[in-house]
Structure 1
Amino acid sequence: MPLPLAPAAAFALRAGTVALAAYAVRRSIRKGRTDQRAEDALDDTDEGIAVHSARDRDQKNAAARFRRVFRWGDRGLEIDAAAIGRIRLRRV
């Protein structure tokens, strides 16, 4: 009995395309570094969301922090998520 190659070839083509795209994305991601100044700024961020604009600059700044502890019996999980963002719009 002959083996139908068309479905296997279509699957191999799709899987190869996905693998190639994943490899390309992986190669384009730079290796990061930990900046202690940024870590300290995130640790100093107040809980909640804050937005403000500086009078001497044409930019909007935003900061957000979420800290919660979830407990299940005698074990728990602490979630501490913080973000700082800046949007600067300039006419050139």
Structure 2
Amino acid sequence: MPLPLAPLIPLAVRLGLVASTTWAVTRWVRSASHPGRTDQRAEDALDELGEGLSVHKPADRAEDRQTNATARVRRVIRFRGRTWEVDAGLMARLRLRERSE
């Protein structure tokens, strides 16, 4: 007795569409992203940040109206018998300059 395969065709088409869409999106993301790099000077600066939030305007950048901000959170989290250390640091700069065109 032959197996009725016709009811499986819609499922096969849906799975094929999902697989091909996933493959296309993955290729697009890989082609649009770059490998990046790690700058040891930036890593050292992040390691030296103090814990908490800091916002200041450097005196030597007054003409640029530059504002710098730093934030760092260091915590130890225990969950289900495992211990995780969280160390999150952020450095940001906002600079507004007037330009003559």
The structure-2 alpha-carbon separation of the partners of 1:34 and 1:2, relative to structure 1 and needing over 3 Å to count, comes to: closer
Does 2:10 match 1:3? no
* Rg comparison, structure with higher value: 2
- Give the structure-2-normalised TM-score: 0.70
Q: What's the counterpart of residue 71 of structure 2?
A: 64
Instruction: Extract unaligned runs of 5+ from structure 1.
Output: none
Structure 1 stretches of at least 4 aligned residues deviating more than 6 Å after TM superposition: none
Deviates more, 1:47-56 or 1:74-83: 74-83
Letter matched to residue 77 of structure 1: W
Letter in 2 for 1:11: L
Residue aligning to 1:19: 23
Name the one with the larger helix percent: 2
Inter-CA distance 57–32: structure 2 relative to 1 (3 Å threshold): same
Matches within 5 A, 1:41-56: 41-54=45-58, 55-56=62-63
* More strand per residue: 1
Q: Which amino acid aligns with 1:56?
A: E
Could you list the runs of 5+ residues in structure 2 that have no partner in the other structure? none
Q: Which amino acid aligns with 2:85?
A: E
CA distance in 2, matches of 1:10, 1:91: 55
Q: Distance in 2 between matches of 1:31 and 1:43?
A: 23
User: How many angstroms does 1:11 deviate by?
Assistant: 2.9
RMSD: 2.6
SS of equivalent to 1:56: helix
Q: For residue 3 of structure 1, what is the amino acid of its counterpart? A: A
